[in-house]
């Protein structure tokens, strides 16, 4: 999760294409050498050079310079496989254009990062969220980035299954509340946190990589994954009458405080408030929010909030 790191050659190629499509909406990337390396967060000049050359040689990008010529206004110079790329990049600015092959490569890599959660809407929510997190996620596919994506997928998967099968979560939490007298600490610590840990451990990548009550920033994280990525759990009770604006930020600051190393944390919220009218209904698209908190050193810390709603009435009783 560091700002600069040692990614692979494939990672750098993907980041170049990603910048064109995300930052410049598929048009072209106008840049010079130093800003290019800084934006893709890589200090290895040779690696960046080789990534650009491979993309160009495979026909996935085109690199052009626009040189001013008093007699001819502008002269376009284009990099070709037979020319030396180093002097081409080092003198002045240039533009990087993605070709159709580059677009296909970008889409294949992007879709390959995430799994099929069973519904197109849930899949799209995960992809959109990953895109919003890309400035914080590293390009290290072996640890931080993939762990974050998998945590996100698992929390969304829980939300999807909860919509599909009331016996999966809603019935269980209702029985627990009846037995415990709805004590906040009892539900969070003795039901929701163990439930989340069990579900996360079912995933082959996360199995054995999440622990409870890990020390961090002067406190103890509900669930900590490998890579120092915190997952906090909160419960909103049926009789909680606070404004939605307050409840939507419940736990965000605490999660951000536990994220000084990863710069990203997850907040999983069990919302038990009754939803008896159409206006109260939600959807999987509304169940995931990305919130930003400013740290003491001026950097953004991102908190991904995923809610699991268990206060739905039966559809026939909805007003």
Q: Among the three residues 109, 140, 165, which one is the final residue of a domain in this structure?
A: 109
Domain containing residue 226: 121-317
Q: Among the three residues 50, 82, 109, which one is the final residue of a domain in this structure?
A: 109
Q: Sheet containing 300-309: give its strands across.
A: 210-216, 219-225, 229-236, 264-271, 300-309, 288-294
Q: Sheet containing 28-31: give its strands across.
A: 28-31, 94-98, 61-69, 73-78
Which two structure tokens, joined as six digits, stand for 189?
């610590």
Considering the domain architecture, whether residues 140 and 227 belong to the same structural domain is answered as yes
58 falls within a domain:
yes
Quick one: how far is CA 310 from the chain centroid?
25
Q: Does the predicted model carry a pTM greater than 0.85?
A: no
Considering the domain architecture, whether residues 99 and 131 belong to the same structural domain is answered as no
Collapsing DSSP to helix, strand or coil, 94 comes out as: strand
115 falls within a domain:
no
Considering the domain architecture, whether residues 27 and 105 belong to the same structural domain is answered as yes
Collapsing DSSP to helix, strand or coil, 260 comes out as: coil
Considering the domain architecture, whether residues 100 and 158 belong to the same structural domain is answered as no
1 falls within a domain:
no
CATH number at residue 86: 1.10.10
116 falls within a domain:
no
pLDDT tens track for 215-254: 998 899 999 998 889 999 999 988 888 887 788 889 999 9
Number of domain units in the chain = 2
Considering the domain architecture, whether residues 158 and 103 belong to the same structural domain is answered as no
76 falls within a domain:
yes
Q: How far apart are CA 61 and CA 52, in angstroms?
A: 8
Cβ atoms 267, 232 nearer than 8 A: yes
Considering the domain architecture, whether residues 38 and 125 belong to the same structural domain is answered as no
Q: How far apart are CA 182 and CA 274, in angstroms?
A: 15
114 falls within a domain:
no
Q: How far apart are CA 131 and CA 124, in angstroms?
A: 11
pLDDT tens track for 4-58: 345 678 888 988 998 998 889 899 999 999 999 988 888 889 999 999 999 999 9
């Amino acid at each position: 999760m560091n700002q600069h790191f040692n990614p692979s050659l494939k990672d750098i190629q993907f980041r170049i294409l990603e910048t064109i499509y995300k930052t410049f909406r598929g048009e072209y990337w106008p840049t010079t050498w130093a800003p290019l390396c800084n934006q893709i967060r890589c200090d290895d000049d040779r690696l960046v050079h080789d990534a650009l050359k491979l993309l160009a040689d495979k026909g996935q990008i085109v690199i052009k310079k626009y040189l001013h010529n008093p007699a001819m206004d502008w002269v376009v110079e284009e990099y070709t496989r037979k020319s030396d790329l180093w002097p081409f990049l080092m003198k002045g600015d240039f533009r990087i254009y993605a070709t159709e092959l580059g677009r296909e490569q970008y889409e294949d890599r992007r879709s390959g990062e995430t799994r099929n959660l069973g519904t197109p809407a849930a899949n799209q929510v995960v992809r959109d969220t990953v895109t919003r997190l890309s400035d914080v996620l590293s390009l290290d596919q072996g640890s931080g980035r993939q762990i974050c994506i998998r945590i996100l997928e698992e929390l969304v998967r829980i939300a999807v299954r909860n919509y599909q099968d009331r016996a999966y979560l809603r019935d269980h939490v209702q029985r627990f509340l009846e037995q415990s007298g709805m004590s906040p600490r009892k539900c969070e610590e003795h039901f929701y946190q163990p439930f989340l840990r069990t579900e996360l451990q079912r995933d082959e990548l996360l199995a054995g990589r999440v622990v409870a009550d890990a020390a961090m920033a002067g406190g103890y994280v509900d669930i900590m994954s490998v890579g120092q990525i915190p997952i906090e759990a909160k419960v909103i009770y049926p009789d909680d009458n606070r404004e939605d604006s307050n409840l939507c930020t419940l736990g965000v600051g605490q999660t951000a405080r536990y994220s000084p190393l990863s710069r990203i944390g997850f907040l999983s919220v069990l919302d038990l408030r009754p939803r008896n009218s159409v206006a109260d209904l939600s959807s999987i698209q509304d169940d995931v929010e990305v919130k930003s908190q400013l740290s003491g050193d001026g950097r953004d810390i991102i908190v991904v909030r995923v809610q699991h709603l268990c206060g739905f009435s039966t559809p026939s009783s909805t007003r």
